[in-house]
Amino acid sequence: MSNALDAVIEIFTWVGLGGGLLLAFVAVFLLLADGTWLPTRAVVEHVDGGRVVRWFDADGGVNEAPLSAHDDAKIGAADMADIFYRRGRVDRMRLTRSSPLVRFVSLLAAGVLTLGAVAFVVSIVVLFARG
């Protein structure tokens, strides 16, 4: 029984720490690839194809992006909205500062690293408890 417990703890330690570090690197890569998103206030307007948001960027340029069905439902009937726009792009906006994918991978990496750290601590405790 103790050999099986040792094997499970060892697997959780290596998979947790190794997989967690790999996921953390993927999260950092995704964060860098996501780019810089700046906050601004946008005007919501009705056009022939649906609704769009228009805003001024940090350089003073006017930008426009169509609203997706999800964003349109979230904004509702408001005529202004707080958005985040991608620096260097005139047609990219979203309603949240960070990407849901980056958030998911970051939380997954934290969870897997926590599993590995807890398994490591348990292996040390078991080692000294048997001694």
Q: pLDDT tens, 51-79?
A: 999 999 888 889 999 999 999 899 988 89
Q: What was the pLDDT predicted at 130? A: 81
Q: Which residue has the tokens 């990407």?
A: 99
Residue ranges per structural domain of the chain:
2-34+99-130, 37-94
Instruction: State the pTM of this model.
Output: 0.78
**Helix (H/G/I), strand (E/B), else coil: 124:** helix
* Residue 24 confidence (pLDDT) above 80: yes
What CATH number belongs to 37-94?
Answer: 2.40.50
Q: What was the pLDDT predicted at 1? A: 61
Average pLDDT value for residue range 96-123: 95
The whole-angstrom separation of Cα 90 and Cα 117 is 44
